[in-house]
Structure 1
């Protein structure tokens, strides 16, 4: 049984309980949360409530729900672009279009399926659906990703990410012409309160998010930029660049419809650096720009 507890803060008072819980548990749909509330799995100060109950300051919420049913995630013989591998870790260059880990209804064709066929053993910390996955990059973002083969490696890498000591560099083609050669976007990111499938710059239920950008090339209507992540929030670069008026080209979620000819956002995880979880050695891995982004850059250069 999974048990979650919350004490309502003054800033959340007056919010419907189903909306509040959906904000805290974005992996659960609002409909499913409403069903849990109706079943009595959610209590407020020890009492059952209805989905439209509005929480009050200092309310004590408890949700108890069964563990998810185990799913059969099978190894699949999918080619991998391996940058490095040893007994503790494997570093890959993920292609654009590949999902990192399975989810209900999407259990094949993912990086995890490919890793299970190649490695056999992966860290079990994240459970059957996400074995070995310490961090992730979006389906339509390409680039460097490290996965853990052992629980020891998983814990060590996760701690480095939490402590903000990893080195993460991305390359992006963004809409518009940047005015400044470099800058820092320091704006908290949380779930978009109007569209739960999106993230947004917001003060409500948000976490610190910091992105540093450096202009590489300017074109007529686009800019090629390098981004260095100081934090690693969901969709961070995509949200931050859209926030300053320069969404990533090809981004179907945060950008305009009219954009460059690319299948997914023009965003690439170019460099990843960390201390090896067993030896402590500092390591940096680089993945070359994918062909589609390189082709777009040549087109933009020729149009100048």
Structure 2
């Protein structure tokens, strides 16, 4: 990973060094940066500083991220549910609880481990740890993902995501009774300035749009379909919390008193895209997991 060089602006002046550096890259948490400062991996004007150092106008900061241990990505027979596959692309139904790609602490049992066992022809644009991965869904979100089997397909699918032409519909169960039948949430998302492991609606965040419509109401709960126009990290979870209807079971953004169902009640039900080679529009759907369906049925009986 390359060094990050930052020249402090008027807007940044007076901030603690860890806050100033973490704001420059969403992948780095403030606590990570603080540890790097302690280890001397962050220098200001060529000098090592203390973690409580407050940056000054025109300071030059150079952050040198530690070299991470290379992950050995081992093919594993994980009995993946492949919804569609040809020579260029495949669509897979990821189960709840499965991490998409290897990372420290999750080197085995990931979707990538399973994909590498299933087929050897995956795009290499995202490197050896994320072969074929065009987009992601959270560990505890189930549902459909498109995977590129060569670099040309990868480029095509990413461009479609950028153009917002990919259809992505999710089913979510939220706390609260949503009175209106549909709506659009347009609110920028970035790392939470206070909780760097979380995302939140932030004025200077990245543009994010979620469209939703109510499918069913159960007293204090509402089942909604969410259609993504953009694809920010945790977008649906953050947006639904922002308007006062957090996802059921969400350990990060849900209320303290939520159902213990092993993670958020969120399922990527529909994925649609133009085939990278033929240009033909293709759309696939996957039924929600059995436990999600059983939860809804229990709510219907109580309602």
TM-score (norm 1): 0.91
Q: Which residue is equivalent to 1:134?
A: 134
Q: Is the 8 A contact 1:2 1:67 kept in 2?
A: no
Corresponding residue for residue 223 of structure 1: 222
Q: Does 1:287 align with 2:273?
A: no
Alignment RMSD:
2.1
User: In 2 relative to 1, CA 219–120 (structure 1 residues): closer, same or farther, beyond 3 Å?
Assistant: same
Structure 2 residue aligned with 1:245: 244
Residues 93-148 of structure 1: per-residue CA shift (max 9 Å, x gap): 11111111111122011101100110123222222222211110011111110111
> Which secondary structure does the structure 2 equivalent of 1:10 belong to?
coil
Give me the whole-angstrom Cα distance separating, in 2, the residues matched to 1:152 and 1:81. Answer: 24
C-alpha deviation, 1:90, in angstroms: 1.5
Q: CA separation in 1, counterparts of 2:8 and 2:179?
A: 43
Task: Look up the match of 2:84.
Answer: 84
How do 1:52-131 and structure 2 match up within 5 A?
52-65=52-65, 67-131=67-131
For 2:31 and 2:199, locate their aligned partners in 1 and report how far apart those are by CA, in whole Å.
20
Shift of 1:264: 1.6
Number of the residue aligned with 2:266: 267
Residue 197 of structure 1 pairs with residue 197 of structure 2: yes
Q: Which whole-Å CA distance do the structure 1 matches of 2:44 and 2:3 have between them? A: 14
Residue aligned with 1:234, SS: coil
Unaligned runs of 5+ in 1: none
User: Does structure 1 conserve the Cα–Cα contact (< 8 Å) formed by 2:30 and 2:196?
Assistant: no
* Stretch moving more, 9-18 or 208-217: 9-18
Q: CA deviation at 1:228?
A: 0.7
State the alpha-carbon separation in 2 of the partners of residues 130 and 185 from structure 1: 31
Contact persistence 1:70–1:128 (CA under 8 A): no
Distance in 1 (alpha carbons) for counterparts of 2:86 and 2:8: 46
Q: Which residue of 1 aligns with 2:2?
A: 2
Partner Cα separation in structure 1 for residue 72 and residue 27 of structure 2: 19
TM-score (norm: length of structure 2): 0.92
Q: Is the 8 A contact 1:199 1:235 kept in 2?
A: yes
Residues 271, 285 of structure 2: 8 Å contact kept? yes
CA gap 1:303/1:38 in 2 versus in 1, 3 angstroms: closer
Residues 253-262 or 118-127, more deviating: 253-262
Corresponding position of 1:172: 172
Distance 1:34 1:250, change over 3 A: closer
1: CA distance between counterparts of 2:264 and 2:188?
A: 22
Give 1:153 shift. 1.6
Q: CA deviation at 1:55?
A: 2.6
Q: Does 1:15 align with 2:15?
A: yes
Instruction: Report the alpha carbon displacement of residue 50 of structure 1 after superposing the two structures with TM.
Output: 3.7
Displacement after TM superposition at 1:236 (Å)? 0.5
Q: Distance in 1 between matches of 2:203 and 2:294?
A: 39
What is the aligned residue count?
303
Q: Partner residue of 2:156?
A: 156
